[in-house]
Amino acid sequence: MPDIARRVVSIFKQKFSREPLVIRAPGRINLIGEHTDYNEGYVLPAAIDRAIYYAMAPSGTERCNIYSALNPGEAWVNYLMGVMDGFERKGLPIHGVDCVFGGDIPVGGGLSSSAALCNGFGFGLNELYKCGLDPLALAKISQYAEHEFAGLLCGLMDQYASLFGERNAALLLDCRSQKHEVIPVHLTDHFLLLVDTKVKHSLASSAYNERREACEEGVKIIRQRNKGVSSLRDVSRTLLHEHRDRMSEDIFIKCLYVVDEIQRTLQGAEFLKLGQLVEFGKLMYDTHWGLSQAYEVSCVELDYLVALAEEEKITGARMMGGGFGGCTINLAQNDKAESFKEKVIRQYAANFNIQPEFYLVNLVDGVSLMDGKSETL
């Protein structure tokens, strides 16, 4: 059990003097398929070995006593209230909990700490009160919390990946059917290196919601003449071009990015299956520049890091997640990684006066119970 999980359990025992249920809820990366989930497209995420840990037990009353071992900041309260509300709206018989949580997912790093936060809490409630929800239902409650209590109209990717993740694999998730195919990830002489820009620009969530609206607007226009179209998943390049004159240039460009990215994701999954990492890496760069120039959700810090990776001939790199900050994901050759890191440290700091951070990630199983009792604390 990682130190932080041990600490969470130990704080729980000090405060509540009994044995808790212990839950691990991982963060996620996304290999490719960005801003496609809310368009019923495909994504290729994976759960990672950074997580939020919960120690939980029924409080015996309707009251919740919750302690955070995370860094200061109270934003988490909203998310947990959102999850509780999600259970209550379904009429599920939940009551109060005693709870301590903490973890090692960098907050604001684009690794879905909020999805992990919600999933872990929901998973715990589901276990403690025997609600019988399946992981997909839990993912949707977490998404509901994000929509209604944090105001981000996100897709389902983050919550889904954190719950369904599998060791050494990514999930090719079809966001329309909400089912996935497991794609084994064999990195051979590469590894996945995240570089954290350490910035999170404030327009992130409003711009995210605006992009979603732009896609919906595009679909609405196409639907006027093609009734069978209900999302950008149904739109080909050709079809989009046929309607180009009926929409603003901005909407056209945004929709085109999504239509292309859905195809790139399917193609990327094929390359991964075949172990064609170089081809996969090229797609990552295409995605990045699409997100930056067409979809306009990048920022100078992310663009800088991706350009540097390209210059250093790193196999693949791109911004990851919603955008406007957070991490780049790099598919880096083992023998290039150290010199790349050194360059990033020197140049990024010199340009932005910010010390970037690096995270090496391994792909792990989704949310699970941990054995808290066997640990000597």
Binding site for ligand GLA (CB under 6 A): 34-35, 37-38, 154-155, 157-158, 321-322
Distance separating alpha carbons of residues 319 and 341, to the nearest angstrom = 16
**Amino acid letter, residue 22:** V
Distance separating alpha carbons of residues 21 and 18, to the nearest angstrom = 10
Distance separating alpha carbons of residues 195 and 329, to the nearest angstrom = 7
Question: Smaller CB distance to ligand GLA: residue 92 or 173?
Answer: 173
Question: Smaller CB distance to ligand GLA: residue 121 or 340?
Answer: 121
Distance separating alpha carbons of residues 283 and 269, to the nearest angstrom = 11
Question: Smaller CB distance to ligand GLA: residue 103 or 109?
Answer: 109
CB of residue 157 to ligand GLA, shortest distance in Å: 4
Least Cα distance to 48 among 366, 261, 358 occurs for 366
Question: Smaller CB distance to ligand GLA: residue 35 or 243?
Answer: 35
Candidates 37, 98, 158, 286; catalytic one = 158
- DSSP of 294-343: IS----HHHHHHHHHHHHTT-SEEEE-SS-SEEEEEEEEEHHHHHHHHHH
Least Cα distance to 102 among 78, 132, 73 occurs for 73
CB of residue 145 to ligand GLA, shortest distance in Å: 12
CB of residue 142 to ligand GLA, shortest distance in Å: 10
Question: Smaller CB distance to ligand GLA: residue 66 or 137?
Answer: 137
Residue 150 burial (10 A CB sphere; 0-12, 13-18, 19+): middle
CB of residue 366 to ligand GLA, shortest distance in Å: 16
With beta carbons less than 8 A apart as the criterion, state whether 265 and 33 touch.
yes
∠ CA 240-241-247, nearest 5°, is 75
| CA 124 and chain centroid, separation | 20
CB-based contacts of 114, cutoff 8 Å, min separation 6: 79, 146, 150, 158
**Which tokens sit at 320?**
């990851």
Distance separating alpha carbons of residues 146 and 159, to the nearest angstrom = 10
CB of residue 360 to ligand GLA, shortest distance in Å: 21
Question: Smaller CB distance to ligand GLA: residue 42 or 54?
Answer: 42
Distance separating alpha carbons of residues 336 and 45, to the nearest angstrom = 24
CB of residue 350 to ligand GLA, shortest distance in Å: 30
CB of residue 206 to ligand GLA, shortest distance in Å: 14
Q: Does the active-site annotation cover 286?
A: no
Question: Smaller CB distance to ligand GLA: residue 135 or 322?
Answer: 322
**How many CB atoms neighbour CB 83 within 10 A?**
27
**Residues β-bridged to residue 46:** 29
Question: Smaller CB distance to ligand GLA: residue 35 or 190?
Answer: 35
Q: Phi first, then psi: give them for residue 348, nearest 5 degrees.
A: -65, -45
CB of residue 334 to ligand GLA, shortest distance in Å: 28
Q: Active-site residues: which are they?
A: 158
